[in-house]
Amino acid sequence: MPLRTVASLDVQRLEILAADGKLDEALLPKMSKELLLNIHRLMFQIRAFDERAVLLQRQGRLGTYPMITGQEATQCVPPLCLKPTDWVVPTYRGGGVYFARGMSMRHALLYWAGDDRGTRFPEANNDLTFSIPVGAHLTQAAGLAWAEKLKKTGGVALTYCGDGTSSKGDLHEALTFAGQFKLPAIFLIENNGWAISVPRSRQAASQTLAQKAWGYGVFGLQVDGNDALAVYRATSEAVARARKGEGPSLLECETYRMGHHTTADDASRYRDPAEVAAWRAKDPIERLERFLRARGLWDDEKGRRLAERTRAWIDEEIAAYEAFPPPNPLDMFSFNYDRAPWMLREQRAELERLLALKGGAKALEALSPAEGRFP
Amino acid sequence: MTVTAAATRELNLVQAVNEALDLALAADERVLILGEDVGRNGGVFRATEGLWKKYGEQRVVDTPLAEIGIVGGAIGLALAGLRPVAEIQFDGFMPAALDQVICHLGRLRSRTRGRRSVPLVLRAPHGGLIRAPEHHSESPEAYFCHTPGIKVVIASTPYDAKGLLLAAIDDPDPVVFFEPKRLYRAARSQVPRGDYRVELGKARLAREGRELTLIGWGAMVQTCLEAAELLAGEGRSIEVLDLRTLTPLDLPALLASVEKTGRAVIAHEAPNAGSWAAELSALISERALLSLQAPVRRVGGWDIRMPLFRLEDYYVPDRERVADAARQTLAF
């Protein structure tokens, strides 16, 4: 018998607004002026915020910090396709996602300052804390989407991972479940080219990461991740399909990590500066800004006002972050169980005794009040 | 062993690890290193600095980001005759590979009736107090010690780190090799230039004393030594035992010390519940009960997750907390 083709791949890439400003009008999604300006604002503000956060870290006023610079479109745009009650699970490099979901960034700073009080998101949102051991959240996101399907809420789950994480078994299992149970889930691979020092070419040998979708009966698409318009179109369509019961999507958004992995990393050890420069020319913010200018939606004066407003906002967030009193050491015993069992009650009392032993009873009085649910 | 001063110089712990890996790669073509960022970048702590350039990408391998792939792959490499030294980048990333460790790594020798073995080394940084993000400050040794068929090693000095790592690479059985990241740069000692071994399964008497034995491993040995110094100022004579190999344990050394002092305090960073300290306490109680003048006491992390780093100083025992436990034991 001659060999015959039983399945074939047709991996598509979505680009609407090219780096050189060329626009494919036919693919342009319906987007209001307010939405376009909001996307631009979010991207501009989170970039400025990251720059200041890195400075804070360098001054010893913040812990290790993962900036998102270069990835503003893949982070700030998808959340705008969702309702607050939809689930969102970003990665640790998710500052833009949380910001677009309305997180108060003083809490983001607090988290990266090593303070557990920083994991606070808007009350009405279904936002979850990322998993630092990467990928573990992907199957959980499938479960979140599964629950929405079972409850018939029409809700969806959006989750992120990087090109590095796409190598982990977690993605395989998550896509297997999502495809099998036709779950309303959107898996967004933020392919930023680098997993710390390991390039994308060193992960799966496949031509694209989008094509992984075909292995699981999941819709797959590659997207220019620095094109905010393409990211918007791809995500909103994936969300629409999910809400209609048409199942999950895997979007590979190609973007670039312009900065170090984190402030603890030095990318110059392993990366060619020419590659970084080439990606700078594809910047997502400048690209959208040129588009807005061409449509008469943006000018220098607006830019100046946004920069001013942003500076004031960042100053305020930093001041509020630094005004948090140090956490009470006893806080760590809060929230570990619905009702703290005997050993935690005993151990908390033991820590209290040790604190008094070290600093005297005065030391205990000087602490911030303990927070959180205990026992 | 004796080493002439001329042949030694001061190294920190991560340099000692690097030197052991370098020697092992040079001495044996079957040795290869694999892990995330271990190649071009030289490891996030620089433990493999310079080795990729020196030995090439076939022997110092930047793997895809996949811990099961790294550990399962290393098991295959070892079964087929190579000597893989796999790195898991942080202690908090090890649980992803526990299926390979628990269900396979330690069982393959007995499941093949001794026809196969898995001579691999699984290296990982260990412990807290470096102001790192979440999941970067864990002490997962108990999960590994609880798993039959593997050895678990953790050094507290550069000298031991080099000698133990070379011994681990030689060992015919799988060795999980923890490196206390708090000591990577903080611990410095004289290290011989050449090849030498520190035998696995042997504890080190880090300080001699008469009244109480502080038992520790990894970075906590340093804390125990500081606590012993503190107590010396109060006129107490404290012995410090650095276990170096957690399993198989140097039981004779442990019992000899406790039988001599009559009192034992075990200090470590993990939660006490179900910890390796619990096993030590049980062994001492079972085998040295009549020598004991006070109950064996454990000073560990609390039975909660490691908090974010602003509170880690209140989670990991410090010298005051260890000294306090010792005082209570002395006063029993």
Answer yes or no: do B125 and B233 share one domain.
no
String of DSSP letters for A207-267 = S-SGGGGGGGT-EEEEEETT-HHHHHHHHHHHHHHHHTT---EEEEEE----S-SSTT--G
Share of chain A above pLDDT 90, in %: 96
Sign of CA dihedral A100, A105, A107, A112: positive
Q: Is residue B1 part of a domain?
A: no
Answer yes or no: do B232 and B101 share one domain.
no
Q: Is residue B57 part of a domain?
A: yes
Range of the domain at B125: 9-192
Region for A198 from its dihedrals, namely left if φ exceeds 0, alpha if ψ lies in -120 to 50, beta otherwise: beta
Answer yes or no: do B239 and B326 share one domain.
yes
Please answer yes or no on whether A63 and B133 come within 8 Å at the CB atom: yes
Shortest alpha-carbon distance between residue B83 and chain A (Å): 23
Q: Is residue B198 part of a domain?
A: no
Amino acid, single-letter form, for residue B4? T
pTM: 0.97
Q: Is residue B2 part of a domain?
A: no
Answer yes or no: do B73 and B185 share one domain.
yes
CATH number at residue B18: 3.40.50.970
Task: Please indicate if any CB of chain B lies within 8 Å of the CB of A333.
Answer: yes
Answer yes or no: do B320 and B225 share one domain.
yes
Tell me the per-residue pLDDT of B194-236, one tens digit each, with 9 for 90 and over: 999 999 999 999 999 999 999 999 999 999 999 999 999 999 9
Distance separating alpha carbons of residues B217 and B161, to the nearest angstrom: 12
Looking at beta carbons, which residues of chain B come within 8 Å of A351? Answer: 302, 314
Encoded tokens for A80: 């705008």
Looking at beta carbons, which residues of chain A come within 8 Å of B133? Answer: 63-64, 92, 112, 114, 132
- For residue A296, the tally of other CB atoms under 10 A from its CB is 8
Tell me the per-residue pLDDT of A291-326, one tens digit each, with 9 for 90 and over: 999 999 999 999 999 999 999 999 999 999 999 999
A318-345 average pLDDT score: 97
A65-71 average pLDDT score: 98
Q: What is the mean pLDDT of chain A?
A: 97
Q: Is residue B199 part of a domain?
A: no
Shortest alpha-carbon distance between residue A270 and chain B (Å): 6
End position of a domain, from candidates B159, B192, B225: B192
Encoded tokens for B88: 């898991």
CATH number at residue B286: 3.40.50.920
Q: How many structural domains is chain B composed of?
A: 2
Res A363: pLDDT? 80
Angstrom CA distances, A253 to A74, A115, A130, A220, B321, stand at 7, 32, 19, 11, 50
Distance separating alpha carbons of residues A267 and A328, to the nearest angstrom: 37
A19-36 average pLDDT score: 96
End position of a domain, from candidates B192, B224, B242: B192
Answer yes or no: do B30 and B161 share one domain.
yes
Answer yes or no: do B17 and B80 share one domain.
yes
Answer yes or no: do B180 and B243 share one domain.
no
Res B103: pLDDT? 96
ipTM score of complex: 0.96
Task: Please indicate if any CB of chain B lies within 8 Å of the CB of A360.
Answer: no
Positions of A annotated as catalytic residues are 257, 261, 270
Q: Is residue B320 part of a domain?
A: yes
B123-147 average pLDDT score: 97
Q: In sequence order, what are the residues at sequence separation of 6 or more whose Cβ sits closer than 8 angstroms to the Cβ of residue B165?
A: B16, B17, B20, B21, B24, B121, B123, B155, B177
Q: What is the mean pLDDT of chain B?
A: 97
Res B5: pLDDT? 54
Q: Is residue B3 part of a domain?
A: no
Share of chain A above pLDDT 70, in %: 100
Closest residue in B to A117 (Cα–Cα): B308
Please answer yes or no on whether A343 and B315 come within 8 Å at the CB atom: no
Q: Is residue B91 part of a domain?
A: yes
A87-89/A157-162 β-pairing: parallel
B254-273 average pLDDT score: 98
Looking at beta carbons, which residues of chain B come within 8 Å of A115? Answer: 308, 310
Positions of B annotated as catalytic residues are 136
Nearest to A198 among B65, B273, B311 (CB): B65
Distance separating alpha carbons of residues A39 and A248, to the nearest angstrom: 25
CB pairs under 8 A between A and B: 114
Answer yes or no: do B71 and B155 share one domain.
yes
Tell me the per-residue pLDDT of B170-201, one tens digit each, with 9 for 90 and over: 999 999 999 999 999 999 999 999 999 999 99
- Flag whether pLDDT at B6 surpasses 80: no
Answer yes or no: do B138 and B215 share one domain.
no
Answer yes or no: do B79 and B164 share one domain.
yes
Share of chain B above pLDDT 70, in %: 98
Residue A364 pLDDT class (50, 70, 90 cuts): confident
B44-70 average pLDDT score: 98
Q: Report all structural domains of chain A as residue ranges with CATH numbers, in order of start.
A: 13-323 (3.40.50.970), 329-366 (no CATH)
Tell me the per-residue pLDDT of A47-57, one tens digit each, with 9 for 90 and over: 999 999 999 99
Residue A360 pLDDT class (50, 70, 90 cuts): confident
End position of a domain, from candidates B158, B192, B226: B192
Tell me the per-residue pLDDT of B61-84, one tens digit each, with 9 for 90 and over: 999 999 999 999 999 999 999 999
B118-146 average pLDDT score: 97
Answer yes or no: do B156 and B114 share one domain.
yes
Distance separating alpha carbons of residues A248 and A187, to the nearest angstrom: 8
